[in-house]
Amino acid sequence: MAESRKHELIQPRTLKGFRDFQPREAGAREELIDRARAVFHSYGFAPIDTPALEYLEILQGKGSEETDKQMYQFEDAGGRRVGMRFDLTVPLARFAAQHIGQLGTPLKRYHVATVWRGENTQRGRFREFMQCDFDTIGTDNLSSDIETALVIHDLFLALGFEDFRIHLNNRKVLTGLLETLGLAEHATAILRALDKLAKIGAEKVQAEIVAATGTEPQAAEQVLALCQLTGTNAEILDAVTELVADSETGRRGAEELRRLLAALDAVGVPEARVKLDVAIARGLDYYTGTIFETFLGALPDIGSVCSGGRYDNLAELYTKQQLPGIGASLGLDRLLAAMEELDMLTSTETPAVAFIPLFDEARLHDYLRLAAQLREAAICVEVYPLPKKLGQQLKYADRRGHRVALILGDNEFAASECQVKDLATGEATAVPLEENAASLIAAIRGLVE
């Protein structure tokens, strides 16, 4: 029996909660990341990366009880207790505390990387997934809040969306109202109740607030009145300002919202894409100022696809230096699912737009030289490795998603021309084969751009 037959075959399978990405899926994700990266660069955000593993003490107790339970942790070969990062924010806190002296402030960074959480798997939720974060560290000036909103706006335009809305809130507004009502110490319980507003309704939320805080129903009504304000941004802002008039913290939050909205209007962001939404409660116990959540007009039920806000105590567990920050995270997996549902993803399995069939191996050097010329002109091209029948090669190209095939057989070489075949329509055009391939390059660009 042959050596390869002596061993029992291992069944190929993936771990529960993990997944493979085939070329089409991986390519779509890469394209999304490339577009996001271009927006980050346009605002001066620089990339960083951090290890997948951190000392356990860096990660443990920095998220919630739930994330502590979900964290992959173990003892490595050196006997150290380590954990796999469950988000990109805690590693950023450690990174900033460790390197801010060298890098200075403000630090504008983005980070696209994989994180791991051992949570229960369900539709759209995995144990390994990618996050795409951008943050500005070391300044509490509102100009950074404004810039964060502008980055979010430009991100969605770059990704091909026109119908989206950025919801804005400010933690100080609710804090101010709770101070006025004497409920500041119950902020966490109230936030948890408000987060259920859309699911269980105002009456049950009011009852939950009363039960959790022991306050009068009238006080709970005032909290709900704030979160249920409707109207234009200007009308809501005026009402908010009146509700928190007796609190310096609340007035400061309302003024920050006013300045933020005015700046977005001055830059030309349409009001239809910005919504003052004082009902945003999720995560308010973490944030200290401005909060963002972004929703798609065509798929509002998919939830926020880009969320974030201001936090003033990013690295307090790692350094005595105050390092306030603001940022947001683009939900790559959720956004890809939405784009798939909206038929916004391309179906190609290759990044190469051009395909060169191999007719004769004796001509291989000619094909390779031509391919090299096209690549110098930034045209991605694939040369087929085997001299199969043309029909078989074109079938491969069509399945892979190439846009054009460059037909170069003996007749074409003899005539010093190339047949440029549009694989979508099947039409072919003879193009002169010049020394610098200028006409061929122009013909390909005319079909694919």
Residue type, 199: K
Distance of CA 230 to CAs 224, 233, 255, 284, Å? 12, 8, 18, 20
pLDDT tens digit sequence for 268-288: 999 999 999 998 876 667 789
- Between the alpha carbon of residue 189 and those of residues 63, 175, 195, 214, 277, the distances in Å are 18, 13, 10, 11, 20
- Helix, strand, or coil (residue 185): helix
Six token digits for residue 135: 């943050």
Assigned token pair, 140: 């509490």
Residues 260, 152: Cα–Cα separation, whole Å: 14
Regarding predicted confidence, which is higher, 123 or 17?
17
pLDDT band of residue 193 (cuts 50, 70, 90) is confident
Please state the domain extents for the chain: 23-341, 354-448
DSSP characters for 323-366? --EEEEEE-HHHHHHHHHHTT-S---S-S--EEE--S-GGGHHH
Does residue 256 have a pLDDT over 70?
yes
**Which has the minimum average pLDDT: 102-116, 163-177, 198-212, 352-366?**
198-212
Structure tokens at 272: 């239809």
Do 135 and 109 form a contact (C-beta atoms < 8 A)?
yes
Whether the per-residue pLDDT at 3 is higher than 60: the answer is no
What's the whole-number average pLDDT of the chain? 92
Which residue(s) pair with 290 in the sheet? 170
pLDDT band at 148 (very low <50, low <70, confident <90, very high): very high
So what's the pLDDT on residue 188?
82
Residue 1: the pLDDT is 44
Nearest C-alpha neighbor of 136 from the set 101, 107, 100: 107
The pLDDT of residue 11 is above 70: yes
Among 105-119, 193-207, 228-242, the least confident range: 193-207
**Hey, which CATH number is domain 354-448, 3.40.50.800, 3.30.390.10, 3.30.565.10, 3.30.1200.10?**
3.40.50.800
pLDDT score of 377 more than 80? yes
The long-range contacts involving 76-79, CB below 8 angstroms and separated by at least 24 positions, are: none
* Domain topology for 23-341: BirA Bifunctional Protein; domain 2 (3.30.930)
